[in-house]
């Protein structure tokens, strides 16, 4: 069986005459994802890069002036490698390795060996190190604040209460940010079987009631029969405080739990009741902020206290201004209900954000491709990329300490697309001209490739061999090469091995192994890690022949914080108090006005409460037909476009007010930039909201208008707070109008001008 694995699932590539013609879905996947279809025409689309490229202005020594707008010149691998190696060595000699930004954030492709980030980081470590980035775009605020509250990232990154316990015990599932089936199509590193829709259905059949708290009705499948509550976006903390107030004043808060398992509740209660000089957080107070009726808030609170309740907080809630607070208040509310550590109760974040969330993990970790040690200590919080480039030498706060932004001369990106993921892309486009050299490894002419000086064209998973296994996904996959790599494309590994050779550390990089040599090495190390847990894997050749290995479940499903609840003395949380910190002296000690020591409601920088007339809150959520910007040129993704643009959905009344009809090309504007979109009119979107998914390839015209609909030309590039410095993509107000006249053609899926072909 010739299987492959992608972040959106297992599949069998169907190849005819050496060409990929279809992707077959394995019969044992109950809900296979159609995202796989994109690869079929994407692999050989006109935007595939099949030869190394150098930017014209770079070759002429323009210092970056035309970067991101320029044409390219096709060059030979020899020339690309020698230019790059010479420039890199000169930059290191003159500025040191602290001038190299190699954070290279991004999802790249599945596969443990050809993992672009591991490859580039290993290479740069051997070259003397690089400035890295910390935390993720997914849940930076949660990653930083959670350890202060519960001592780990449990319930966010890992160890959420498993589905089994939800199906059997949860009576009420209150989902802030919904449970969008769309997002559970993927898992970082690959999906074994798509099980989330079945788990949710099973819970429903077992009697679980669902509450969908979201600006979008379809953030929950209709078959779950959910109650839909649509607070104004970014006001969930106020809603949770209104719920908490009801619990407190109606005697529904679990005092025994709060006494035994938490610290700081007294101070929180004082603030909740307005005894600290602030407003009392009554349901009426919450109603004025959220736009929900106070009575609905009261009745939800009573219902939550009367049932086994799971409070789920989508990661999206903390990708917003003061995102730390959504997490903090979720935990506080769950602590007040006193069900943390019980099966089916308590809290969790990330349910349905990825297929793996709610799966029990394997009892061991599959070993990673070794990245070696980075001699450079400097870092930035991942979303501060634009700030770093704009303000070298400036100070920033992060989790209790002060740091300075490095002065970056060279950027190297492999396997990520900052011209997809970063907020305020026109600003990024501007400050991206500052370094002297930008190197990008990419298969396609997307936003990041067009912003490079040297483009190194790489292969896709189906063009190479790899080992696939992801966290909390039970399959190990022999990812077999299905087609030949086109043109002069190379594997990231071979690209870097070649440059390492040029720079004199080729042997250290490869350790004398080729692709299959590394796969055998990784496999053997995995076999050793699995053996103590009773897994008896076949030898490599038998495994490779069989195509996959399914790990049986060896972990008993456990509620989040079950041990802590059972015996807090034997299993204290690794917080200063050993308890859940509703009040955190440590965070208070940092002295951050935008993240004090208690959960706090802050007005977001942009929201419906301060928006000028006509402003709509932009929800730039994840796309249903692709992963981020990956394979946007594929047929399944393009079939979802409206008039060739990214769709933007708004309520019929909001559309009517703006004279917008379904299928119109519309113009969206924010304080940062503007883009075109294709209108969809739907009552599944709350009033005051416009929803447009991420991932449309950047397509800026000369005036800075994005013709295709990349939401990140609109979004706000502001940190969540001085604590986490996380991204705030979901905090953006925009204005929408019908586009008059004939809209400009979309150019995103045309390659840039390639000026002259060098002989190779
Ligand atoms: N407005 C807004 N913005 C957001 C978000 C949001 O909710 N709203 N969400 C954020 C989140 S959670 C995330 S995780 C980020 C995601 O941001 P990214 O992870 O940067 O997005 P991808 O499109 O997955 O980028 C992966 C890139 O790697 C390339 N690639 C694929 N395989 C390979 C390979 O084998 N080798 C190499 N060299 N390249 C390869 C792909 O072509 C693609 O360009 O976006 C963030 N941005
Ligand atoms: N198909 C597909 N699946 C994906 C991805 C993809 O690109 N494509 N990306 C993956 C990645 S990297 C990640 S990190 C996860 C992200 O998972 P999430 O962070 O959960 O993803 P989003 O789609 O941004 O948000 C989920 C929903 O939250 C709601 N929401 C947004 N803001 C608010 C708010 O202020 N209040 C309330 N109550 N609701 C709000 C929106 O209606 C949105 O549909 O998804 C993963 N899954
Ligand atoms: Mo993410």
DSSP, collapsed to helix, strand or coil, labels residue 566 as helix
| Domain contains 144 | yes
Shared-domain flag, residues 117 and 151: no
- Residue 186: CB within 6 Å of ligand 2? yes
Number of CB atoms found within 10 A of residue 372's CB: 14
Which atom of ligand 2 is found nearest the CA of 729? Answer: 24
| Domain contains 69 | yes
All residues at 6 or more sequence positions from 145 whose CB lies less than 8 Å from its CB, including other chains: 324, 327, 328, 587, 595, 723, 724
Nearest to 33 by CA among 6, 13, 3, 15: 6
Tens-digit pLDDT profile for residues 28-85: 999 999 999 999 999 999 999 999 999 999 999 999 999 999 999 999 999 999 999 9
Range 353-382 average pLDDT: 96
State the pLDDT confidence band at 554, using cuts at 50, 70 and 90. confident
**Predicted local confidence at residue 553, as pLDDT:** 85
Query: Which bound ligand lies closest to the C-alpha atom of 35?
Result: 2
Query: What are the DSSP calls for 185-212, one per residue?
Result: G--TT--S---HHHHHHHHHHTT-EEEE
Shared-domain flag, residues 71 and 174: no
Shared-domain flag, residues 266 and 407: no
Cα 213 to Cα 281: distance, rounded to the nearest angstrom: 19
All residues at 6 or more sequence positions from 154 whose CB lies less than 8 Å from its CB, including other chains: 146, 560, 561
Cα 38 to Cα 208: distance, rounded to the nearest angstrom: 36
With vertex at residue 474, the alpha carbon angle to CA 35 and CA 636, rounded to the nearest 5 degrees, is 5
State the pLDDT confidence band at 757, using cuts at 50, 70 and 90. low
**Predicted local confidence at residue 65, as pLDDT:** 97
Pocket test for ligand 2, best of 33, 109, 183, 325 (most atoms within 8 A of CB): 183
Tell me the pairing of strands 674-681 and 647-650. parallel
| Domain contains 288 | yes
φ/ψ of residue 732, rounded to 5: -155, 130
Which atom of ligand 1 is found nearest the CA of 139? Answer: 12
Question: With pLDDT > 90 as the criterion, what percentage of the chain qualifies?
Answer: 98
Shared-domain flag, residues 199 and 214: yes
- Residue 686: CB within 6 Å of ligand 2? no
493, pLDDT greater than 80: yes
The H-assigned helical ranges of 616-749 are 635-638, 652-657
Query: Which bound ligand lies closest to the C-alpha atom of 715?
Result: 1
Cα 734 to Cα 616: distance, rounded to the nearest angstrom: 5
Shared-domain flag, residues 178 and 310: yes
Nearest to 427 by CA among 437, 415, 419, 435: 419
DSSP, collapsed to helix, strand or coil, labels residue 496 as helix
- Residue 716: CB within 6 Å of ligand 1? no
Shared-domain flag, residues 202 and 108: no
DSSP, collapsed to helix, strand or coil, labels residue 623 as coil
Nearest to 363 by CA among 508, 554, 119: 554
Shared-domain flag, residues 127 and 160: no
With vertex at residue 151, the alpha carbon angle to CA 146 and CA 154, rounded to the nearest 5 degrees, is 65
Pocket test for ligand 1, best of 4, 138, 187, 415 (most atoms within 8 A of CB): 415
| Domain contains 407 | yes
CA 462, 468, 470, 474 torsion-angle sign: positive
Nearest to 642 by CA among 675, 666, 678: 678
| Domain contains 73 | yes
Active site residue 601: no
Please check whether residue 692 is in contact with residue 675, taking contact to mean a CB–CB distance below 8 angstroms.
no
State the pLDDT confidence band at 756, using cuts at 50, 70 and 90. confident
Cα 586 to Cα 576: distance, rounded to the nearest angstrom: 8
The single residue of 58, 77, 107, 328 carrying the catalytic annotation is 107
| Domain contains 473 | no
**Predicted local confidence at residue 760, as pLDDT:** 47
Taking each helix axis as running N to C, give the angle between helix 323-337 and helix 236-249, from 0 to 180 degrees, rounded to the nearest 10. Answer: 20
Burial bucket for residue 646 (CB in 10 Å: 0-12, 13-18, 19+):
buried
All residues at 6 or more sequence positions from 313 whose CB lies less than 8 Å from its CB, including other chains: 176, 177, 236, 326, 327, 330, 347, 348, 349
**Predicted local confidence at residue 758, as pLDDT:** 56
Distance 172 CA to ligand 2 centre (A): 21
Cα 622 to Cα 33: distance, rounded to the nearest angstrom: 15
State the pLDDT confidence band at 221, using cuts at 50, 70 and 90. very high
Shared-domain flag, residues 644 and 582: no
Shared-domain flag, residues 209 and 298: yes
**CATH number of domain containing 77:** 3.40.50.740
**CATH number of domain containing 173:** 3.40.228.10
Range 522-548 average pLDDT: 97
For ligand 2, atom 17, the nearest C-alpha belongs to: 353
Distance 353 CA to ligand 2 centre (A): 6
Nearest to 254 by CA among 161, 346, 122: 346
According to DSSP, the residues that pair with 401 across neighbouring strands are 398
Average pLDDT value over all residues in the chain: 97
Q: Which H or E element spans position 618?
A: strand 616-619
Q: Which H or E element spans position 361?
A: none
Cα 198 to Cα 196: distance, rounded to the nearest angstrom: 5
Tens-digit pLDDT profile for residues 460-474: 999 999 999 999 999
Number of CB atoms found within 10 A of residue 734's CB: 28
| Domain contains 120 | yes
Query: What are the DSSP calls for 380-436, one per residue?
Result: EEGGGHHHHHHSTT-EEEETTEEEE----SEEEEES--HHHHSS-HHHHHHHTTSSS
CA 471, 472, 473, 478 torsion-angle sign: positive
Domain total in the chain: 3
Pocket test for ligand 1, best of 417, 422, 460 (most atoms within 8 A of CB): 417
Shared-domain flag, residues 340 and 374: no
Shared-domain flag, residues 208 and 345: yes
Domain that holds residue 691: 616-738
For ligand 2, atom 22, the nearest C-alpha belongs to: 621
CA 64, 68, 74, 80 torsion-angle sign: positive
Cα 635 to Cα 567: distance, rounded to the nearest angstrom: 54
CA 223, 224, 230, 233 torsion-angle sign: negative
123, pLDDT greater than 90: yes
**CATH number of domain containing 714:** 2.40.40.20
- Residue 379: CB within 6 Å of ligand 2? no
Taking each helix axis as running N to C, give the angle between helix 323-337 and helix 140-150, from 0 to 180 degrees, rounded to the nearest 10. Answer: 40
- Residue 68: CB within 6 Å of ligand 1? no
The single residue of 105, 351, 366, 518 carrying the catalytic annotation is 105
Nearest to 96 by CA among 107, 108, 88: 88
Tens-digit pLDDT profile for residues 237-252: 999 999 999 999 999 9
Q: Cα dist. 441→6, 80, 400, 496, 657 in Å? A: 19, 12, 35, 10, 46
Nearest to 405 by CA among 395, 390, 397: 395
Tens-digit pLDDT profile for residues 494-504: 999 999 999 99
Shared-domain flag, residues 147 and 281: yes
759, pLDDT greater than 90: no
DSSP, collapsed to helix, strand or coil, labels residue 746 as coil
| Domain contains 518 | yes
Q: Does this model's pTM top 0.95?
A: yes
């Amino acid at each position: 069986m010739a299987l492959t694995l992608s972040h959106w699932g297992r599949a069998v590539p169907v190849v005819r005459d050496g060409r990929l013609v279809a992707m077959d879905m394995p019969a044992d996947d109950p809900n296979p994802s159609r995202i796989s279809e994109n690869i079929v025409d994407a692999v050989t689309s006109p935007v595939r890069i099949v030869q190394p490229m150098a930017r014209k202005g770079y070759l002429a020594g323009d210092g970056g002036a035309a970067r991101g707008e320029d044409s390219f010149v096709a060059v030979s691998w020899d020339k690309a490698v020698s230019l790059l190696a010479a420039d890199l060595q000169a930059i290191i000699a003159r500025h040191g390795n602290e001038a190299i930004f190699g954070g290279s954030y991004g999802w790249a492709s599945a596969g443990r060996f050809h993992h672009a980030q591991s490859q580039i980081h290993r290479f740069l470590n051997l070259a003397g190190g690089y400035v890295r980035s910390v935390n993720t775009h997914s849940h930076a605020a949660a990653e930083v604040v959670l350890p202060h509250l519960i001592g780990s990232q449990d319930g966010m990154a890992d160890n959420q209460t498993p589905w089994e316990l939800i199906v059997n015990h949860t009576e009420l599932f209150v989902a802030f940010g919904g449970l969008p089936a769309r997002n559970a199509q993927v898992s970082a590193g690959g999906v074994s079987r798509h099980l989330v829709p079945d788990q949710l259905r099973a819970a429903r059949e077992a009697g679980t009631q669902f509450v969908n708290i979201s600006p979008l009705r379809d953030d929950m499948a209709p078959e779950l029969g959910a109650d839909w509550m649509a607070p104004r976006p970014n006001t969930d903390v106020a809603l949770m405080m209104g719920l908490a107030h009801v619990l407190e004043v109606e005697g529904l808060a679990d005092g025994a739990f709060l006494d035994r398992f938490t610290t700081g509740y007294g101070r929180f209660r004082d603030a909740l009741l307005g005894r600290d000089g602030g407003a009392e957080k009554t349901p009426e107070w919450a109603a004025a902020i959220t736009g929900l009726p106070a009575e609905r808030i009261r009745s939800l609170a009573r219902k939550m206290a009367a049932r086994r309740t799971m409070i789920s907080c989508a990661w999206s809630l903390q990708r917003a201004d003061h995102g730390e607070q959504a997490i903090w208040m979720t935990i506080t509310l769950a602590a007040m209900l006193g069900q943390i550590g019980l099966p089916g109760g308590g809290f969790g974040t990330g349910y349905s954000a990825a297929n793996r969330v709610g799966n029990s993990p394997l009892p061991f970790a599959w070993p990673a491709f070794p990245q070696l040690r980075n001699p450079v200590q400097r870092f930035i919080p991942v979303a501060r990329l634009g700030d770093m480039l704009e303000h070298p030498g400036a100070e920033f706060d992060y989790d209790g300490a002060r740091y300075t932004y490095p002065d970056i001369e060279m950027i190297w990106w492999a396997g990520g697309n900052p011209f997809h993921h970063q907020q305020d892309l026109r600003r990024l486009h501007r400050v991206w001209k500052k370094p002297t050299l930008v190197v990008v490894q990419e298969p396609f002419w997307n936003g990041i490739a067009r912003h490079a000086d040297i483009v190194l064209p790489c292969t896709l998973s189906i063009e190479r061999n790899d080992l696939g296994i992801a966290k909390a996904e039970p399959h190990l996959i022999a990812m077999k090469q299905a087609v030949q790599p086109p043109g002069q494309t190379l594997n990231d590994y071979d690209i870097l091995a070649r440059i390492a050779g040029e720079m004199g550390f080729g042997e250290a990089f490869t350790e004398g192994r080729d692709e299959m040599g590394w796969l055998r090495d990784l496999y053997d190390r995995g076999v050793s890690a699995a053996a103590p847990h009773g897994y008896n894997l076949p030898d490599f050749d038998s495994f490779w022949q069989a195509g996959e290995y399914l790990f049986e479940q060896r972990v008993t499903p456990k509620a989040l914080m079950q041990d802590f609840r059972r015996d807090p003395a034997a299993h204290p949380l690794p917080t200063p108090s050993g308890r859940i910190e509703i009040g955190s002296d440590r965070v208070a000690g940092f002295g951050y006005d935008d993240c004090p020591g208690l959960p706090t409601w802050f007005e977001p920088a942009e929201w419906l409460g301060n928006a000028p007339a006509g402003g709509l809150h932009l929800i730039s959520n994840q796309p249903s037909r692709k992963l981020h910007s990956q394979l946007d040129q594929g047929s399944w993704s393009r079939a979802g476009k409206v008039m060739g643009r990214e769709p933007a959905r708004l309520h019929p009344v909001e559309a009517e007010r703006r004279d917008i009809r379904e299928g119109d090309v519309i113009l969206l504007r924010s304080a940062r930039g503007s883009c075109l979109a294709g209108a969809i009119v739907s009552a599944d979107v709350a009033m005051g909201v416009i929803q447009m998914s991420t991932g449309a390839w950047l397509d800026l015209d000369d005036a800075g208008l994005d013709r295709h609909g990349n939401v990140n030309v609109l979004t706000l590039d502001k940190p969540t707070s001085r604590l986490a410095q996380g991204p705030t993509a979901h905090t953006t107000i925009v204005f929408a109008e019908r586009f008059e006249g004939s809209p400009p053609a979309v150019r995103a899926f045309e390659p840039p001008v390639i000026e002259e072909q060098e002989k190779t």
